[in-house]
Amino acid sequence: MPFHETPALPDTNALIEDLRTLVECESPSEDPAALARSADLVARLGTAHLGIEPERLGTHLRWRLGGPTRVLVLAHHDTVWPLGSLRTHPFGITDGVLRGPGCFDMKTGLAMALHVLGSLADRTGVTLLVTGDEELGSPSSQALIEDEARGARAALVLEASADDGALKLERKGTSIYRVLVKGRAAHAGLEPEKGVNASVELAHQVLAIQALGDPALGTTVVPTVAAAGTTRNTVPAEASVAVDVRARSVAEQERVDVALRALAPVLPGAALEIEGGINRPPLERALSADLFERATRLAAEAGLPALTGVAVGGASDGNFTAGVGTPTLDGLGAVGGGAHADHEHVLVDRIADRTALLRALVVDLAHA
């Protein structure tokens, strides 16, 4: 299919009907039964659009549509929303705004992918991979994503856009840690001096952890969930804090990793254990620049809205594709906002142009 043809606009009503079906099948990442039901649904919808059944890899689904992978289209069907969220956040459209749990992150992008790839007469070299654990950090799909991306000329990630539809040209890498403090219990009233207070040690460590960030380089090191102690009148014997690290370069991720593992206890008798490590490498702008230039040209040729691009702190599976050296363009999905929040929404009047852009990119890259 030569690219000079004008990209076909999708049947937005049909896409929204599929989107409704996807949203109303709740798929929280940590519920295996719900994820299995969602994977079954995605498999049925994908088979109807693509004409072939997927490979089932647990809750992950892969459609290889002919030949070695040249273009990897990447989506996920899991969400952060717990079962029952539809009762308080039902699917609906009011004044051109579509709402429902997971509609923005990222079931609209998934529906777009199914409709685009189902519309192509020649899909040689295109692979669609839909994973089921992205919101958990992709523990079981990371290797699958990386293996599929190696050797591809491009990865197109259907995560939702940034503000006003901007594509995501740069994503920080993520690291996830848990710092465990070991102290010694004692009665808080009778003999507190015989204990080693893990809460006090944790306070020292939280301040040291916070100081590892580097605002000038965009590196954030944030202590988040903390816990300590058992009862009000017992010197805490254990404490812990989760640590969220975001960095624009692998070098910064490694610097913070070394520094966290070098933390030393302040109180005599206390001990530290560090769990976790680097999770996702950064998506650096160098790996998105050429694809963004291509997308900008295609949008102009097709009369689609002009494109903008931004750097964001959040990570996605696009970090993994970029991490193996595959050019990656992220944020190609829905235009809207409120990911993971009560006001999650999609702008209906932007679904058509985003889907047309995706179609133009897939055709151009697959036949380049």
Write out pLDDT tens, residues 139-153.
999 999 999 999 899
Domains of the chain by start residue, with CATH: 12-172+282-366 (3.40.630.10), 173-280 (3.30.70.360)
Q: Report yes or no: 165 and 356 within 8 Å, Cβ to Cβ.
A: no
Residue 112: name the closest of 74, 140, 138 by CA.
74
Percent of the chain beyond pLDDT 70?
Answer: 97
Taken in order 77, 344, 20, 346, the sign of the CA dihedral is: negative
Listed as own residue / partner, the contacts of 139-146 with beta carbons closer than 8 Å and 24 or more positions apart are 140/58, 140/60, 141/60, 141/317, 142/320, 144/57, 144/60, 144/62, 145/74, 145/317, 145/320, 145/321, 146/320, 146/321, 146/323, 146/324
Q: What is the pLDDT of residues 237-254, one digit of tens each?
A: 999 999 999 999 999 999
Task: Write the burial class of residue 84 (CB in 10 Å: 0-12 exposed, 13-18 middle, 19+ buried).
Answer: exposed
Position 299 pLDDT exceeds 70: yes
- When the pLDDT of each residue in the chain is averaged and rounded to a whole number, the result is 96
Strand partners, 129: 62, 74
The conformational region for residue 340 under phi > 0 = left, psi -120 to 50 = alpha, else beta, is: left
- What's the confidence (pLDDT) of residue 67? 87
Strand partners, 223: 243
Tokens of 340: 């993971």
> What is the identity of the amino acid at 216?
A
Q: What is the pLDDT of residues 62-86, one digit of tens each?
A: 999 988 999 999 999 999 999 999 9
Position 163 pLDDT exceeds 60: yes
Q: What is the pLDDT of residues 262-288, one digit of tens each?
A: 999 999 999 999 999 999 999 999 999
> What is the identity of the amino acid at 278?
I
Q: What is the pLDDT of residues 19-50, one digit of tens each?
A: 999 999 999 999 999 999 999 999 999 999 99
For residue 3, name the pLDDT band (cuts at 50, 70, 90): very low
- What's the confidence (pLDDT) of residue 228? 98
Catalytically active residues are 78, 134
For residue 1, name the pLDDT band (cuts at 50, 70, 90): very low
- What's the confidence (pLDDT) of residue 291? 98
- What's the confidence (pLDDT) of residue 4? 39
For residue 220, name the pLDDT band (cuts at 50, 70, 90): very high
